Structure 1
């Protein structure tokens, strides 16, 4: 599938910004339950009720690269804890390196990002362990789902649980979340050569950006042939607002 994204160098960090279609765009005559099923099968916690989506940022090392990966998550599994204790509550609030970095950036210290845009930041709810997170897909009961479709995504965003919900004329029969961590690890082992090439590609992209005049490029693929690396056109919007660019640079 063709894709396009911007790459923006800030300090020693390269941001990849996907350039997709509007999230409010609708596809006419689309049949399926990929959006309606999650709405009925999952519920929003009270503190985040009314949200449009849940975006998570995770961090891990990929060879010699340190990655922060943002992705949308379909849901999480509630833990059955008969009694809540003060120690268990405090354990959830232990700051991670991401939290500490964002604290240094003083994200949320102001509500005005610019004269035209206001960002409303709220700290609510309780952190959920990555081990509780799951993704989901729906299929007709006669169409077996091929896990090869989802395993690359589960590897990138390190999601250990998956739900495939089969339906017959829109009726779902007791769908269950299963742990697929072993399948993800097996996929990683079987695709070691591919992942090595992916690592080399990421390193090459970093080199190209650092050698570019504006520290910003556009990367695209039309579905065939090599990747295209071109100068960004149109408005030169940075990945971070001006008041955070220098602060992020200082973090590096």
Structure 2
């Protein structure tokens, strides 16, 4: 468990306990989800570089059994902070304005990521976990900024095949070759608030992109009344498991010094084609925690999940299961109504505390199974450079 004793904070502003919330009649759900932009971190030897819109790795398992070496090496907990510690969330807005120069940034209530929002969901679900994140306000927009013990904090005791498996079954396509990760930015409404969410994508499925293109072509040739039916047809056909080619990921270190460089390369991949993946040893008798999986996919609105079982590092094609899980995520959302009411209430508490703060610079801290504490932040660095802040 991460030790938080070194996490410096100021005056205690609020203590949040889920048990104090009264039940409400609302049933909060994610609505109007839209993919906005994306970027790849590119391994440039001299300066931090992103490719906009970039594209995620293309996926295909081998047609034959493949034995892999166990994970080794060093992996950053937060690749965005590790590659650009100066302003870890700046790439979000450089990528967004590159694609949507007229975007109204002040229209967002919450700007967060899969890590910060996922940790709040775990807190609401009573799951023990130490975490902290910075909270900043620009105008009425509140930012949740992931915060590790240091920008270059590493994942401890790396083991298993969670890295070697995707490295062996995906590749960066020629226009984005040399990339190290793909970051996606989506927007959606939840609980009366407008969210902008960044998350890292494991990859995409080519056939799902082709189907999306077919949908768009068909929409151009039909009236607007036909579009809902076309979307339903696309979704019903999407759980096709033969979405494969033989490809591979590459990656390496990158400089963190100097200003952020932007290159317009790659292509926009629709959200309907994005997947998350997980590996597990067949010897492990414990069933996969699908509640944790759906929680992560719900936050990121990722429609595909690929589960790969192995026996001592040997992956057979029949044990690699791509699944279209949008319907399951929708069911999870309905079944977790009480959890999501608490999640909505916690976010509203944080929002009120931050908007009521004189400095707009706070920090959320939770230790183990304890309360969520909102404290003033001693460090007062700006969350974004001035030219971006002026968009508010």
TM-score interval, normalised by the smaller of the two chains: 0.7 to 0.9
In structure 2, list runs of 5 or more residues that go unmatched.
Answer: 1-128, 221-256
User: Any idea what SS the aligned residue of 1:32 has?
Assistant: coil
Q: After TM superposition, which residue ranges in structure 1, 4 or more long, deviate above 4 angstroms?
A: 21-24
* Corresponding residue of 2:137: 9
* Corresponding residue of 1:111: none
* Corresponding residue of 1:244: 388
Superposed CA RMSD in Å reads 2.1
Which deviations, in whole Å up to 9, do the C-alpha atoms of 1:30-76 show, x marking residues without a partner?
Answer: 32001111111111121221111111011010021000110111000
- Residues 1:218 and 1:127: Cα distance change in structure 2 (over 3 Å): same
Question: Pairwise mapping of residues 49-60 of structure 1 onto structure 2 (< 5 A)?
Answer: 49-60=177-188
1:157 paired with 2:300, answer yes
- Residues 1:41 and 1:230: Cα distance change in structure 2 (over 3 Å): same
Counterparts of 2:368 and 2:308 in 1: how far apart (Å)? 30
User: Any idea what SS the aligned residue of 2:261 has?
Assistant: coil
* Corresponding residue of 2:165: 37
User: Any idea what SS the aligned residue of 1:134 has?
Assistant: strand
| TM-score, with structure 1 as normaliser | 0.81
* Corresponding residue of 1:181: 326
> How many Å apart are 1:123 and its aligned residue?
1.6
* Corresponding residue of 1:110: none
Counterparts of 2:325 and 2:184 in 1: how far apart (Å)? 19
- Could you tell me whether the CA contact under 8 Å between 1:145 and 1:164 is conserved in 2? no
- Residues 1:241 and 1:42: Cα distance change in structure 2 (over 3 Å): same
1:168 paired with 2:307, answer no
In structure 1, list runs of 5 or more residues that go unmatched.
Answer: 92-115
Counterparts of 1:178 and 1:81 in 2: how far apart (Å)? 17
User: Any idea what SS the aligned residue of 2:390 has?
Assistant: helix
* Corresponding residue of 2:154: 25
> How many Å apart are 1:177 and its aligned residue?
1.3
- Residues 1:16 and 1:125: Cα distance change in structure 2 (over 3 Å): same
> How many Å apart are 1:173 and its aligned residue?
1.1
Greater RCO (CA < 8 Å, at least 6 residues apart): 2
Q: 2:197 aligns with which of 69, 72, 78?
A: 69
User: Any idea what SS the aligned residue of 1:53 has?
Assistant: strand
Which deviations, in whole Å up to 9, do the C-alpha atoms of 1:79-99 show, x marking residues without a partner?
Answer: 3759x99x96xx9xxxxxxxx
- Residues 1:66 and 1:145: Cα distance change in structure 2 (over 3 Å): same
Further displaced range: 206-215 or 46-55: 46-55
Q: 2:289 aligns with which of 133, 146, 153?
A: 146
Counterparts of 1:212 and 1:33 in 2: how far apart (Å)? 45
Counterparts of 1:15 and 1:151 in 2: how far apart (Å)? 24
Counterparts of 1:123 and 1:25 in 2: how far apart (Å)? 30
